[in-house]
């Protein structure tokens, strides 16, 4: 089944699993679920991945995120390195490297970061200021006290990953319904009725993968809120002097996360790494965010940013402890949360999608994922009560 844009039909549309949201979370779950049951993804926009997935400057970093996120990220590595035949025409990961830099007064923070990285990876180096400046020659030597370099950090081809999940789900019979804004949920006689702007859909299991709107969907269903807070992150691209071979630079960021820079198709992508709480909406970058980032970048480097080439923002949604929420609601039958992806949803999507699909079918977390330390109770919404 392909994209489905029909208006209301007389026939009842009933499936085994209804997934609300076709971003990276919903698409990855559908990919693993579709071989085992009838699946429909409901997407409120005219195309999947419009809000967060499509705006991500995603990097694969095993040290990034809280413990359950790191476990799911590490468990995803094998899929990224060796995706199923036909999943993508291009490699999903491209070696990039990532370097956290610290001013001389931030070395204690750098020590703490180094210890964290070493807890998940042995491919890490502590660099002197001179070594950091060799990797990224635009760093101001006097501003650098040292750095930590993660050799196996990689760029993720987000589009290929997302489309691979959607294509694989469709090939297994799943259907993606776009322009389907959910307007109500009701549970009767052992199944959910999900009312949309197009028609009503029915399933015993609803998977709430609505990103920044997950608590809105939860409220419609009668669930207690999980306390989800969407946060704006702004980004921009800018040109760099052609004398520099910036494509060979690692991604680099300040250890206090006041900015990061990532080479991006001949340009540099910069961000203030901000996390500003907002209501869920089609978020736009704020001029102040960009100005702050430019100030921090120009203080730490010799780069001169006259005018950004392109400016945008995305939403990253967090619950209080910053980790994922994945599993059935303890108070609503057949209502499954797949929310709180924060800024880690793409790097962890292969394992998170597979784990959530297993849990949605009433199975345990697959053994090859559980071995990384992924625990049902650590993902459950019950921990937030």
- Could you tell me the pLDDT band of residue 50, with boundaries at 50, 70 and 90? confident
What does residue 320 show for φ and ψ, rounded to 5 degrees?
-60, -40
Percent of the chain past pLDDT 90, that is, above it, reads 91
14, β-bridge pairs: 202
Three-class SS state of 210:
coil
pLDDT of residue 215: 98
Predicted confidence (pLDDT) at residue 3 exceeds the cutoff of 70? no
The DSSP code sequence of 36-83 is GS-EEEE-SSSSTTTTTGGG---EE-TTSSSHHHHHHHHHHHHHHHSP
Pairing between β-strand 182-188 and β-strand 124-127 as defined by DSSP bridges: unpaired
- Would the pLDDT of 4 be above 80? no
**Whether 101 contacts 300, CB under 8 Å:** yes
Weakest mean pLDDT among 82-86, 160-164, 190-194, 263-267: 263-267
Residue 34 CA from chain centroid, whole number: 21
Each residue's pLDDT tens digit, 323-342 = 999 999 999 999 999 999 99
Q: What is the mean predicted confidence (pLDDT) over 246-259?
A: 96
Average pLDDT score, the chain: 94
Q: What is the DSSP secondary-structure string of 251-280?
A: EEEETT-S-EEEEETTEEEEE----EE--S
* Mean pLDDT to the nearest integer, 163-189: 97
Please count the other Cβ atoms lying within 10 Å of the Cβ belonging to residue 320: 12
- pLDDT above 80 for 282: yes
In three-state secondary structure terms, 370 is helix
- Asked if 240 and 263 count as a contact pair (C-beta separation under 8 A), the reply is no
pLDDT at position 120 is: 87
Fold of 13-57+158-226+322-384: FAD/NAD(P)-binding domain (3.50.50)
Token duo for residue 248: 């060979």
Tokens of 66: 């809280």
How would residue 73 be classed by pLDDT, with cut points 50, 70 and 90? Answer: very high
Q: What three-state secondary structure class fits 203?
A: strand
**Strand arrangement, sheet containing 59-60:** 59-60, 154-156, 93-95
* pLDDT (average), residues 172-200: 96
Better pLDDT: 54 or 382:
382
Question: Is 3.20.20.150 the CATH number for 98-151+229-318?
Answer: no
The arithmetic mean of pLDDT across residues 70-92, rounded, is: 97
Percent of the chain with pLDDT over 70: 96
- Map residue 342 onto helix, strand or coil: coil
pLDDT at 254: 98
Instruction: Report pLDDT digits (tens) over 19-45.
Output: 999 999 999 999 999 999 999 999 999
CA distance 261 to 250: 9
pLDDT confidence of residue 79 = 98
pLDDT value, residue 58: 84
- pLDDT value, residue 183: 97
Q: How far apart are CA 49 and CA 46, in angstroms?
A: 10
Question: Residue 7 pLDDT > 60, yes or no?
Answer: no
- Check residue 54 and give its pLDDT: 67
Name the nearest CA neighbour of 274 among 252, 287, 255, 293.
Answer: 293
* Cα 166 from Cα 6, distance rounded (Å): 19
Residue 56: predicted pLDDT: 76
Domain spans of the chain, in order of start: 13-57+158-226+322-384, 98-151+229-318
Whether residue 281 is predicted with pLDDT greater than 70 in this model: the reply is yes
pLDDT for the residue 11: 58
Q: Is 7 exposed, middle or buried (0-12, 13-18, 19+ CB in 10 A)?
A: exposed
Pairwise CA distance, residues 268 & 357, whole Å: 37
- Of the chain, the end-to-end C-alpha distance in Å amounts to 39
pLDDT at 9 over 50: no
Contact 214, 229 (CB under 8 A): no
- Please report the pLDDT score of residue 77 as a whole number: 98
Q: Token digits for 239?
A: 């040109």
Mean predicted confidence (pLDDT) in 340-357: 97
Average pLDDT on 206-224 reads: 98
Angstrom CA distances, 40 to 206, 229, 346, stand at 10, 27, 21
Count the neighbouring beta carbons within 10 Å of the beta carbon of residue 196: 20
Q: pLDDT digit string (tens) for 95-148?
A: 999 999 999 999 999 999 999 999 988 899 999 999 999 999 999 999 999 999
Task: Judge whether residue 51 has pLDDT over 80.
Answer: no
């Amino acid at each position: 089944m392909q994209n489905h844009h029909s208006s209301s039909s007389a026939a009842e549309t009933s499936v085994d699993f209804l997934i609300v949201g076709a971003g990276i979370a919903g698409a990855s779950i559908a990919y693993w679920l579709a071989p085992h049951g009838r699946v429909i993804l409901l997407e409120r926009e005219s195309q999947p991945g419009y809000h967060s997935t499509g705006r991500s400057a995603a990097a694969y970093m095993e040290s990034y995120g809280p413990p359950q996120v790191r476990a799911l990220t590490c468990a995803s590595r094998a899929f990224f390195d060796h995706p199923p035949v036909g999943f993508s025409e291009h490699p999903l990961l491209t070696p990039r490297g990532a370097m956290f830099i610290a001013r001389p007064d931030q070395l204690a923070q750098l020590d703490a970061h180094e210890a964290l990285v070493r807890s998940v990876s042995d491919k890490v180096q502590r660099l002197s200021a001179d070594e950091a400046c060799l990797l990224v020659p635009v760093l101001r030597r006097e501003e650098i006290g040292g750095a930590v370099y993660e050799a196996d950090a990689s760029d993720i081809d987000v589009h290929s990953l997302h489309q691979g999940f959607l294509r694989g789900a469709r090939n297994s019979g799943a259907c993606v319904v776009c322009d389907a804004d959910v307007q109500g949920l009701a549970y009767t006689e052992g199944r959910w009725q999900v009312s949309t702007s197009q028609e009503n859909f029915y399933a015993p299991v609803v998977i709430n993968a609505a990103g920044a709107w997950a608590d809105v969907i939860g409220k419609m269903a009668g669930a207690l809120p999980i306390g989800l807070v969407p946060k704006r992150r702004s980004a921009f691209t800018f040109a760099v002097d052609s004398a520099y071979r910036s494509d060979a630079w690692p991604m680099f960021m300040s250890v206090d996360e006041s900015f990061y820079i990532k080479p991006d198709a001949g340009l540099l992508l910069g961000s203030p790494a901000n996390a500003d709480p907002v209501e869920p909406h089609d978020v736009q970058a704020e001029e102040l965010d960009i100005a702050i980032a430019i100030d921090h970048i120009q203080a730490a480097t010799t780069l001169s940013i006259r005018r950004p080439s392109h400016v945008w923002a995305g939403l990253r949604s967090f619950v209080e402890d910053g980790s994922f929420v994945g599993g059935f609601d303890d108070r609503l039958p057949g209502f499954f949360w797949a929310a709180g992806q924060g800024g880690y949803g793409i790097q962890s999507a292969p394992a998170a999608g597979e784990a959530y699909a297993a849990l949605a079918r009433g199975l345990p977390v697959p053994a090859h994922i559980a071995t990384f330390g992924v625990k049902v109770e650590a993902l459950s919404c019950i921990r937030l009560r």
